[in-house]
């Protein structure tokens, strides 16, 4: 079978992250790591967070469309606390709850954070099913992780009659969550790069609930008709993506990534 160029790009994991642990990668990008090369297009609004008012945010984005905001928060201190060495020193012996990375994630597995980082945090194989992929995101014990969350500067624009709840995660290159929807929120990348795909509530994407985002990108995405193309963008460290209520979205970590979401409920 002949593979299209986009498929070849994604199926070819590139070994190229040779950064020193102190070069800004927080120790998560090591010589043995792999990354995905193709960041894709960015066909949604990308704004300087300091140049948009709360009123403009509410009128243009809060209830109608996603947006990427740069310079919206300053989480320099939080980023330092999320380095690999610091997190392992503080939380290595703590238990974390992993979920299967499919649309209906019911299975949960408890492991130590140290074991997750040492054994399970690895690049995603293209043929692995979502039910076979253990993903660390959310299910944080807020009592145990409170000291870290206290240092996070959450996005300043909160929707009326809502408050924010944090979900923190770390995942390997090629992993991600398949299409799903829930209430509105923000997602910020701390280390690595995370590619997002989004559809409005009335435009349900075609996907298999137990296939990974990586398989969707390699098999379905290259063949989508123009009218079925998603909104998409890759967000980098320090950038924040906002998604409105009930928007379908899927994510793909292009590198070993550290990230945090603020769900508004």
- Give the pLDDT means over successive 10-residue stretches in the chain (265 positions): 40 36 69 79 96 96 98 96 97 94 82 96 87 89 93 96 94 93 97 97 93 94 96 97 98 96 96
**Paired tokens of 35:** 């990354």
SS3 content of the chain, % helix, strand, coil (to 5): 25, 25, 50
- What was the pLDDT predicted at 31? 58
Residue 239 pairs with which residues in a beta bridge? 70
Residue 109: C-alpha distances to residues 15, 106, 112, 151, 194 (Å): 30, 10, 10, 27, 24
State the DSSP string of 163-208.
Answer: -EEEEEEEE-TT----SB--S-EEEEEEES-EEEEEE-TTSPPP--
- What was the pLDDT predicted at 1? 36
CB atoms near residue 207 (< 10 Å): 20
- What was the pLDDT predicted at 20? 35
**Paired tokens of 239:** 């950038």
- What was the pLDDT predicted at 24? 61
- What was the pLDDT predicted at 22? 39
- What was the pLDDT predicted at 147? 95
Q: Do 62 and 86 meet the contact criterion of CB atoms below 8 Å apart?
A: no
- What was the pLDDT predicted at 251? 97
**Paired tokens of 132:** 């076979």
Structural domain spans, the chain = 44-264
CATH number at 44-264? 2.60.120.650
- What was the pLDDT predicted at 12? 41
């Amino acid at each position: 079978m002949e593979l299209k160029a986009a498929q070849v790009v994604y199926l070819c994991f590139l070994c190229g992250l040779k950064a020193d642990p102190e070069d800004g990668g927080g120790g998560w990008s090591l010589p043995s790591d792999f990354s995905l090369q193709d960041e894709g297009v960015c066909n949604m609004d990308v704004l300087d967070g300091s140049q948009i008012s709360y009123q403009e945010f509410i009128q243009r984005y809060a209830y109608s469309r996603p947006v990427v905001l740069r310079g919206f928060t300053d989480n320099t201190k939080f980023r330092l606390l999320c380095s690999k060495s610091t997190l392992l020193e503080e939380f290595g012996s703590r238990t974390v709850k992993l979920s299967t990375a499919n649309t209906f994630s019911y299975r949960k597995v408890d492991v130590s954070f140290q074991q997750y980082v040492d054994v399970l945090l690895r690049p995603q194989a293209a043929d692995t099913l979502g039910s076979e992929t253990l993903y660390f995101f959310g299910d944080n014990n807020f009592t145990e992780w409170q000291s870290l969350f206290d240092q996070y500067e959450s996005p300043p624009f909160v929707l009326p009659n809502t408050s924010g709840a944090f979900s923190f995660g770390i995942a390997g290159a090629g992993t991600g969550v398949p299409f799903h929807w829930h209430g509105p929120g923000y997602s910020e990348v701390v280390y690595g790069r995370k590619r997002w795909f989004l559809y409005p509530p009335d435009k349900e994407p075609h996907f298999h609930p137990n296939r990974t985002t990586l398989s969707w990108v390699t098999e379905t995405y290259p063949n989508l008709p123009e009218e079925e193309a998603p909104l998409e963008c890759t967000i980098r460290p320090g950038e924040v993506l906002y998604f409105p209520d009930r928007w379908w979205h899927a994510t793909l970590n292009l590198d070993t990534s550290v990230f945090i979401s603020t769900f508004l409920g």
